[in-house]
Structure 1
Amino acid sequence: MLSRAVSRPFLRLQPFTVSLGLFALGAVPDAWAKDDYEYPHAHEPIGTVEQIYEGTMLPDLAVSTYRNIDRLFPTRTIDGSDHPYALPKAPRQLDNVHFTYEGKKYDLFDYVAVDSITAMLVIKDGKVAYETYQRGNTDRTRWMSMSMAKSVTSTLAAVALHDGAIKSLDDAVVDYVPRLKGSAYEGVTIRNVLTMTSGVKWSEAFTDPSSDRRALLRAQIAQTPGAAMTLMASLPKAAEPGTVNNYSTGETQVLEEVIRSAVKMPLSDYLEQKIWRPFGMEHDAKWWLDSPNGQEIGGSGISATLRDFGRFGLFFMNGGKIAGQSILPQGWVQEATAPTVLKDGSPLNYGYMWWPGRTEASIKDGAYSAIGMQGQNIYINPTHNVVIVTFGDQPKPLRRNLIAPLAFFDAVVAALD
């Protein structure tokens, strides 16, 4: 299947980020997606992708960059639906929330200010109980997903499994990605990749230029087809598969390759065909590519509106049902979002690229989250039928929240109950 052209020309070339060769390789599209003509932030100044990962942008530049990440790399457009999923206003609105965290009292306004939240949506029983946009964001603002994209990618793996394109989670990765044959990924299963227990050595240190995460970023910056898998194939083995969990964005890129190979189309197209349009996402989204007209960055780089991320949360919480029929394997949501175990039976508080709850209340409710650095969250509480989405512009990519999001989310759920 031929892929659609990437979404927009770059509005400003970033130092060291892209080369003039991108345009020769076809980064300029034939046509722009419908939302691009009216995107409210298209002409704002932006920083570079290196500044994002180094944490070296002042707040105003960070905000304009995070809502324009599709200008940092070529992207593929995920078309919105002509019939958006309705999100009516809840009859009971969330006014304020009071809670205690680490012995100190806070409220909703503290959380938004202290954790640098630029937009937040609270959905209760399918209706909007709270919605706010800060720092010039609007309901048409596309914001970066960061690692929330990992949960989207793992969900597409589930759809491929349901479709029969992926036969089993216990299939060998190299059966789908021959490029990795003879590498440390020999003997690694799709399930190992989903739980980040491949045993392949990896350093996820965002701000360390010598880390594997930054090496993957440099491969993306190079915009050379296949550069990411060249890096992944070069990594050494550190442990037996299934014995050690090591958080790795590289694992998600491997999963992207598995899915693309299985379904014979780009992940953006698969997401659009299976979820985005059928479920009723309102606006076009974008997804970073490894090269012009290339492959999606499986662990990052989706930009979408607040409400559409909220709709994705509803889709997943409700078992992946579209028109009354689930497009996910039976029991997937519970399996993918619950703590798993390592080969020796040791507990692992990580699912299939979803984060299970860690507080007493969230564990009791079976809550889980898609989490991205710098304040991005899709929190889902199936017991109380609540979805919370936050966009953040925290200055450093270090997963340092001054107020733990789960403490606030627990308080929101309690206030709405």
Structure 2
Amino acid sequence: MRHPTTRRHLIQLLGGGAMGSLLAGCGGGADEPLAPPDPAETLATNLLLTTPANQAATYRNVDRIAPTRRVRRGGAVRALPVHARSLGGLKFDFAGQQVGLDDYLARNRVAGLLILKDGAVALERYGLGNTPASLWTSFSVTKSITATLVGAALREGHLASLDEGVAQRLPALRGTAYAANTVRQLLRMSSGVAWNEDYALGAGSDIGRLVQAVQANRRGAVLELMASRPRAAAPGTVFNYSTGESFVLGALVAAATGRSLSDYLSDRIWSRAGMEADAYWMLEAADGLEMGGDNLSATLRDYGRLGLFLLQEDGSRLPPGWLRQASQPEGTPTACGSLYSGYPLGYGYQWWAFPSGAEALPGHDGAFAAMGIFGQFLYLNPRENLVAVVCSAWPAPWVDAAELETFALLGTAVADLGQR
């Protein structure tokens, strides 16, 4: 049987023993926890082997079970006024039924939902014990943040172009399959370097190898793993979702800037976008690099402010036109409808792109999103000047119906807020 190739298949496998050990035994970290432990919060020992009773508490306390590094905010907080039109009574059609907001939140175990229109709050809800002060982990939403830091490094001249060689900045990858790759190809998940995102523990599982690298608790162990991967396809010809690839991008930014990803994120975005709280980023080891593909933790409103920063970026911190380029597919391998059979979205620079024009989904023309397992979404709709954040604790890593229901809710919100 061939290895899973669809996003749905591979992420449905996640949560078994293979990833269960990824975070086990990784307590401590580069920074002290941002808040004193709450004795009432019982946590799992890792993020991927939780129970319904401890899942939410674990997701909002990652710094208590894994090494992390702080992302510091600035002095001024960006106000988020209340929008004139409230979505508190939102209802939407899904699967032949009309769904109310409370039903959606309960069924999908939503811990936070925020919708910002023109920078103002049209909807803000919390659940599962979360409050506005809760720091919730983002899983693979972080990939899109890492890609944004690639753009910042390009804007500042730390990178000459997206077409420079990856190994130019990372000596550990010289003489490896990655020596033939450009930064742009990694952003598109189209390096052609072999990676099996199969979360079963088997001889062919690269996730299993990633588990072992992290368990080594040694800076550089993950890059050593990536250096060992062979070539499977010509560069730029095949889309292959790879958490390891996102780690390489993060390592590249750190090497190019001479700074940790956490410090660089703070300097270029977090301290300048009016964030209300420090965030933190999970590390490969106590003295290691940030996990460029997963697990930044922040408040619901600060995720929203990140979306506003991206929509309103004027070219001072990112290259002019970066968002337009980063949010759209480029060529057949990443085109909308080409990634997986029956799946309409495409892929940009570590962003999932909704189809546009005649193929657009209702309400989502030109939209794009960062998405993470267990129901994490950062959704941006530039045409409507709308940002949405969904933080969830789904019972499984990926639930097809929950993803589609979330898109239906957001599409209806776009339409309702457009009727001003």
- Same fold by TM-score, threshold 0.5 exceeded? yes
CA change 1:336–1:42 in 2 (3 A) is farther
CA change 1:400–1:213 in 2 (3 A) is farther
Partner residue, 2:129:
136
CA change 1:400–1:223 in 2 (3 A) is farther
Partner residue, 1:275:
269
| Alignment check: 8 A CA contact 1:367 1:379 kept | yes
SS class of match (2:53): helix
SS class of match (2:146): helix
Does residue 360 in structure 1 map to residue 360 in structure 2?
A: yes
SS class of match (1:81): coil
Distance (whole Å) between structure 2 residues aligned to residue 174 and residue 149 of structure 1: 23
Partner residue, 1:93:
86
Distance (whole Å) between structure 2 residues aligned to residue 195 and residue 290 of structure 1: 23
Partner residue, 1:379:
379
| Cα drift, residue 214 of structure 1 | 3.7
Partner residue, 1:46:
43
SS class of match (1:390): strand
The counterpart of 1:221, out of the listed 212, 215, 223, is 215
RMSD over aligned Cα, in angstroms? Answer: 2.4
Does residue 310 in structure 1 map to residue 304 in structure 2?
A: yes
| Alignment check: 8 A CA contact 2:280 2:298 kept | yes
Distance (whole Å) between structure 2 residues aligned to residue 183 and residue 263 of structure 1: 23
Structure 2 counterparts to residues 246-285 of structure 1, below 5 A: 246-285=240-279
Partner residue, 2:11:
none
Amino acid at match of 1:98: K
| Cα drift, residue 383 of structure 1 | 1.0
Distance (whole Å) between structure 2 residues aligned to residue 194 and residue 244 of structure 1: 13
CA change 1:175–1:342 in 2 (3 A) is farther
Distance (whole Å) between structure 2 residues aligned to residue 139 and residue 344 of structure 1: 36
Amino acid at match of 2:378: I
Amino acid at match of 1:351: G
Partner residue, 1:209:
201
SS class of match (1:365): coil
Partner residue, 2:343:
none
Amino acid at match of 2:324: Q
Partner residue, 1:286:
280
CA change 1:343–1:106 in 2 (3 A) is closer
Amino acid at match of 1:249: T
SS class of match (1:371): strand
CA change 1:118–1:16 in 2 (3 A) is closer
Amino acid at match of 1:332: W
Distance (whole Å) between structure 1 residues aligned to residue 211 and residue 363 of structure 2: 34
| Cα drift, residue 96 of structure 1 | 2.4
Residues 245-276 of structure 1: CA distance to partner in whole angstroms, max 9, x if unpaired?
00111110010111011100000000001110
Partner residue, 1:80:
73
Residues 10-41 of structure 1: CA distance to partner in whole angstroms, max 9, x if unpaired?
xxxx9884559x87xxx475xx57x525x7x5
| Cα drift, residue 101 of structure 1 | 2.6
How many positions carry a matched residue from both structures? 386
| Alignment check: 8 A CA contact 1:158 1:332 kept | yes
Partner residue, 1:159:
152
| Cα drift, residue 186 of structure 1 | 1.8
| Alignment check: 8 A CA contact 2:109 2:128 kept | no
Residues 336-370 of structure 1: CA distance to partner in whole angstroms, max 9, x if unpaired?
00122147999661000001115724686311101
Partner residue, 2:394:
394
| Alignment check: 8 A CA contact 1:114 1:403 kept | no
| Cα drift, residue 396 of structure 1 | 1.6
| Cα drift, residue 43 of structure 1 | 5.8
| Alignment check: 8 A CA contact 2:219 2:287 kept | no
Partner residue, 2:102:
109
| Alignment check: 8 A CA contact 2:132 2:300 kept | yes
| Alignment check: 8 A CA contact 1:370 1:378 kept | yes
| Cα drift, residue 111 of structure 1 | 2.0
Residues 108-153 of structure 1: CA distance to partner in whole angstroms, max 9, x if unpaired?
2232122221111111110111111101100010001100000000
CA change 1:46–1:222 in 2 (3 A) is farther
Partner residue, 2:342:
none
Partner residue, 1:6:
none
Amino acid at match of 2:172: R
| Cα drift, residue 83 of structure 1 | 0.7
CA change 1:17–1:274 in 2 (3 A) is closer
| Alignment check: 8 A CA contact 1:76 1:293 kept | no
Amino acid at match of 2:280: K
Distance (whole Å) between structure 2 residues aligned to residue 338 and residue 107 of structure 1: 32
Partner residue, 1:119:
112
Distance (whole Å) between structure 1 residues aligned to residue 140 and residue 330 of structure 2: 20
Stretches of structure 1 that go unaligned for 5 or more consecutive residues are 1-13
TM-score under structure 2 length normalisation:
0.86
Partner residue, 2:321:
331
| Cα drift, residue 221 of structure 1 | 3.1
CA change 1:350–1:17 in 2 (3 A) is closer
Amino acid at match of 2:376: Q
Distance (whole Å) between structure 2 residues aligned to residue 167 and residue 250 of structure 1: 23
| Alignment check: 8 A CA contact 1:195 1:353 kept | yes
TM-score under structure 1 length normalisation:
0.86
| Cα drift, residue 102 of structure 1 | 3.4
